[in-house]
Each structure stands twice: as structure tokens, then as C-alpha cells.
Structure 1
């Protein structure tokens, strides 16, 4: 009878510690091929090596023990791929949040030499083709993509009269849920599905251009806010964003240009 590999030998072959293998056994993820009833020694089979390494990789990716067990118990390759894929998507989202936080923090720690080139600009009233909705803050990006796709489909060959934009209610930032409007300026806006003509009122805006991806756009918002306070102005109404250069214009995030406009009025002194 072949006794199999001792736990030490198996640890050496899999590059896993004995302690880790014991933990996998205790949690039911990887039981030894046999356990000596007298000594309690664990013995493993050679064909268990790939399974041990799969468990290790999944745990390195912080897949919960219960999910690891599901993945190992699933014989259907497509179902197994869906389970792993779901966790990878969650990891990618977490990595994106981490990257954005790092970029934002680096920008905050960098001195703002020379300040922001803020401009006070009057904007005339106009009618645009728009999609409106009340959105959770975490869903804004996906909602925006769907709304812009619907706008593009409804507008067809109508020539644009300017870059697209969006209005974001203050409640979206203060309470995590609020009104969002995205639009494209065109002549004779249509009514189709969620797309309707919307009259945007005239406004006085404090405007600055954010360059690059939106990972650190919060820093630009903060610095614009500081400028507004310094100049004895108050914010009045939703945030305006105008997408001068976006992903549809250039795939390189470094080329993106987003104009941020806050409707303002002067405080009484």
C-alpha cells in the first residue's frame, strides 16, 4: 500500500506551510488522502497538489472560505468560472477605488502652486436633449453610461451644438442619492423613451477645468470650493459638468477635460 506524501513533503511540493495545510484540513477545504489512525499523521496524494495550489491562489485573492468551498465543489466549468469571475470583478472594483484614493491623496499632498485658473462666466438659458433620474451615488457611473447611450440612439444624425454635460444635485453628495440630468445640446431635441427636451435656466458659474481621469476630481472640486469661499461667493443650485474631452473623444484618460461649474451668487457683506 502506498502511504502517500507526508504533510511536510506535500508542503514542500506545493510551497505551502504545514500550518496552512492543517488550516485547510480543519476548514474542510482540503482533507488529506488518508490519516493514520494510530499516529494521526496526514498523508496526501500527488493529484491533490493542483487543488492545494488553487485554494492558495483563491485565498490570496481574499475569496471567503465558503466561496472557496463552493468553487471546489462545483464540477460545471462555466458555473465555476462565474463564481470566480464574480469575485474578480469585486476585486477589480476595490482596486479601482484604492487607485483613485491613492491618486487623490497624492494630489492633495502636492502644493497647489499658482492656484486654479477659475473663471466667472454667465451661461445663457437653453433647451437640450436630456435624460433625468434620481440615482444613488454609487450607481452614477453606470446610470450615466446608459443614459448617454440612450441619448446617442435617440439623436441619430443630429449635429451637436456643443459638448455633452450633466447636472448633479447637491443631495447626491450630501445624502448619497439625488437628481441627475445628462444632456446633449442639439437643435429641436426629440422625445423618445427617457429622452426629452429640457430647458436649462441661465446661471452664473464659477468654472474650472479638471484635466485627466476622474480619480482625483474631488480634489479639483475641493479647490474650486475653497476659491468660491475665498471670493465671498455661495453655491446656488446643482453642480454643472461639461465633458469637453471624454472617453468617446479620446481613449487616453490623460487627454480628458472636464469643466466643473458651480452656480454662484455673491454674499452680502
Structure 2
């Protein structure tokens, strides 16, 4: 038997505050069964408790309200399950990031860093297919997944064998947003490709350190390489380059990732120190 209850009683039943219930009503997520036209008092039916508890669980999982609305209002079971699956996948990814950061923090606090092996190299100018964008640091992961997925597809279609990379402007580091150019080296005679620029990257001297493994410790590689450059080299103008020797497109095993971080310098030191 269905009964109606006041918003206060419904709040106690569902552990949702009256303020939250009013908000859900205002946005059309969970409307009361009846609103008194003269007093504005709201009453809910007991059959709505299940819906309210579902909403509460989904919000406990930090599901966006738009997705909660899609789950609650949909009569298509497969569509509801797909929305739930996509959100759970996002949460799993966030949990993995948290695990990686915890592991990195423990290592930072308990392990003395090994001296970085730094190599010096002159990289000649080269032509490349590229995607150029103004990217926020917080969005760089998703941006790279999209852009390098497209570059990988282009490489496969045109049988290009080359190490992809990217350049990062100073603003990307200092302002948390700046120009990023993802590139795939090609022959000087390469023809244009839809959706990509043909760019000519300048040659130059670089101090190069290799980052191995997951990205959670990437800042430690930058810190060690940057310190080495400051102590042993003269910095040259120009963006930092990253070369993705072994990337997520090559293997799902994060421990196998290898990224060369290339710091621009004016010249190779006369007596280069191999250790930072």
C-alpha cells in the first residue's frame, strides 16, 4: 500500500536533507508526488523511496547529476547500464591514479633518488605531421589519448615508422595552460594529411633524461633533469620536447613506458658530466 509523507519524513527515510530534496525537485530529478498549491508543502509517496536511495548511491559515487538523471529517467535498461558502466570505468581510472600517487609519495619520502643519467644530443631539423592546440595542464592526459590515437592511426595507415613526441611551451608550465604540439616525424617529401599540419621542427642541442614507468613520478624526472641542466649547461630558448619511445599505444604495461625528456641547451658542454 502506498502512502504519502511530508518532506521531513521523506528526508528521514532516505537520509537526504530537505535542502537536497528541494534542489532535486527544482532540477527535475526527483519531484514530490504532490505539492499543496496554497502552502507549497511537498509530499512524497513511499514508492519513491527506492528512487531516492538509488539517487543517493549514485551521488555517493560522485556521478554527475546529468548522468544520474539519465539513469533515473531512462526506461531503456541497456542505456542505463551503459551510463553506469562508463561512470564506474571513470572511477576505476581515478582509483588507479590515486594508487599511483600514493606509491610515488611513499617512494619520495623513503627512497633517496638515484643520480640521473643525462645524455647530450644534437637533433637535426625534421618535418612532421602535427596537431597544435592550446591545452590546460589538467586536460593534457585526455588530450594526449585523443591526439596520439589519431597519430597512431595515421602512422599505421601510411606505414610510418617513427617515434612520436610533443613540444610544450613555457606557458604550459608557468600558467598551467599553453601551446602543445604533438608530432609524428615523416620524410621531407611527405604530402599533407587531412586533420594534421605539416610542420618543420628546428634542430638543436638537448640534454636528455629518460623517464621510465608510470606518469605519477614524471615531475621527479623533470626536477632531476632541470637541476642537471641548471648546474652544467646553458639553457637555450625553445620548448621542451618529449619523445615517446615506448608509449601507451605500444603496450598496456605502464612499467614499460619510456619517455625521453629533451631540455634545450645552447651547446654540448666541453666536459659533459654524465651524472646529475
* TM-score, structure 2 as length reference: 0.68
What is the match of residue 38 of structure 2? none
What is the match of residue 35 of structure 1? none
Q: Secondary structure at the match of 2:192?
A: coil
Distance 1:111 1:233 in 2: 30
Q: Secondary structure at the match of 1:204?
A: strand
What whole-Å deviation, never above 9, does each CA across 1:103-159 have from its counterpart, x for those lacking one?
443343243343111222222x23232213132223433443443344445453434
| Conserved? CA contact 1:168–1:240, under 8 Å | yes
What is the match of residue 135 of structure 1? 134
What is the match of residue 39 of structure 1? none
> 1:56-71 residue pairs with structure 2 within 5 A?
56-63=56-63, 70=69
What is the match of residue 202 of structure 2? 201
* TM-score, structure 1 as length reference: 0.69
State the Cα RMSD in Å. Answer: 4.3
What whole-Å deviation, never above 9, does each CA across 1:4-58 have from its counterpart, x for those lacking one?
8x9xxxxxxxxx98682675878766979xxxxxxxxx9985x666435423422
Task: Give the direction of change, closer, same or farther, for the CA distance of 1:142–1:59 in structure 2 (3 Å limit).
Answer: closer
Task: Give the direction of change, closer, same or farther, for the CA distance of 1:265–1:197 in structure 2 (3 Å limit).
Answer: same
Task: Give the direction of change, closer, same or farther, for the CA distance of 1:82–1:178 in structure 2 (3 Å limit).
Answer: farther
What is the match of residue 214 of structure 2? 213
Question: Which of these two proteins has the greater Rg computed from alpha carbons?
Answer: 1
Task: Give the direction of change, closer, same or farther, for the CA distance of 1:150–1:189 in structure 2 (3 Å limit).
Answer: farther
- Match for residue 15 of structure 2 among 11, 20, 42: 20
Q: State the shift of 1:183 in Å.
A: 2.2
What is the match of residue 105 of structure 2? 105
Gaps (5+ residues) in structure 1?
Answer: 7-15, 33-41
Between Structure 1 and Structure 2, how many residues are aligned?
Answer: 248
What whole-Å deviation, never above 9, does each CA across 1:225-261 have from its counterpart, x for those lacking one?
1222232543531111111111222221111111111
What whole-Å deviation, never above 9, does each CA across 1:186-243 have from its counterpart, x for those lacking one?
3332211243443222211111111112122122112211222232543531111111
Q: Secondary structure at the match of 2:193?
A: coil
Distance 1:25 1:144 in 2: 40
Q: Secondary structure at the match of 1:230?
A: helix
Distance 1:260 1:184 in 2: 16
What is the match of residue 37 of structure 1? none
> 1:85-164 residue pairs with structure 2 within 5 A?
85=84, 88=87, 92=91, 94-95=94-95, 98-99=98-99, 101-123=101-123, 125-137=124-136, 138-155=138-155, 156-160=157-161, 162-164=162-164
Distance 2:89 2:79 in 1: 16
Task: Give the direction of change, closer, same or farther, for the CA distance of 1:200–1:95 in structure 2 (3 Å limit).
Answer: same
Distance 2:122 2:211 in 1: 19
Distance 2:90 2:192 in 1: 40
Gaps (5+ residues) in structure 2?
Answer: 6-10, 34-42, 270-276
Distance 1:173 1:82 in 2: 40
Task: Give the direction of change, closer, same or farther, for the CA distance of 1:107–1:193 in structure 2 (3 Å limit).
Answer: farther
| Conserved? CA contact 2:213–2:257, under 8 Å | yes
